[in-house]
Amino acid sequence: MSQEKATQSDLDSIEIQLGRTPRDVHAIAYRCPCGEPAVVETEPRLADGTPFPTFYYATCPRLTGAISTLESSGLMNTMNQRLLTDLDLAGQYHAAHDDYIAARSALGIDVPELEDISAGGMPDRVKCLHSLVAHSLSAGQGVNPLGDEALAQLAKWWTDQPCCENVSGNEK
């Protein structure tokens, strides 16, 4: 999917969404239907030198809240059991892991510590639906099968109203 450079207004919105200054945002990977950033691409090495494997990072509070509710439902346990028995699903999930690493590597920032590390438990298990959904929203449907499944279960997590207000207090 396409990404776009984050504007100062985007960074201000992300700060409000997260309740803290965003770290090393490379681009906006996905926007909510309301137009606000929902997923960002984060540099694989933070400015302080720390390796950061979570390339796709969900920022929209409505999205992250809905995913947290889904995580508490036991879905991850079911997904992990399926990965053990469904070889086709396991292969698709491993391909999603490879896609994640390739997208991060395309930035051209060498981080040897992250050489075969993606996020969310890929390629062998599910430990964070936030990462998997963020990957699905950013890469598009059909890339991460378990992220797609989780996203489908979220149903409509957005509204037509912005999930945050800009710094001046006016809704975007």
pLDDT tens-digit profile of 47-98? 999 999 999 999 999 899 999 999 999 999 999 999 999 999 999 999 999 9
- Say what the pTM is: 0.91
- CB count in 10 Å sphere of residue 71: 16
Is the pLDDT at 169 greater than 50? The verdict is: no
Is the pLDDT at 172 greater than 50? The verdict is: no
Burial of 14 (0-12, 13-18, 19+ CB in 10 A): buried
Mean predicted confidence (pLDDT) in 28-32: 95
Q: Report pLDDT digits (tens) over 33-56.
A: 888 999 999 999 999 999 999 999
Amino acid 122: pLDDT? 98
Kindly state the tokens that stand for 129: 């639906």
Q: Report pLDDT digits (tens) over 95-149.
A: 999 999 999 999 999 999 999 999 999 999 999 999 999 999 999 999 999 999 9
pLDDT confidence band for 168 (50 / 70 / 90): very low
Is the pLDDT at 13 greater than 90? The verdict is: yes
User: Do 157 and 32 meet the contact criterion of CB atoms below 8 Å apart?
Assistant: no
Amino acid 160: pLDDT? 64
Q: What is the mean pLDDT of the chain?
A: 91
Is the pLDDT at 167 greater than 50? The verdict is: no
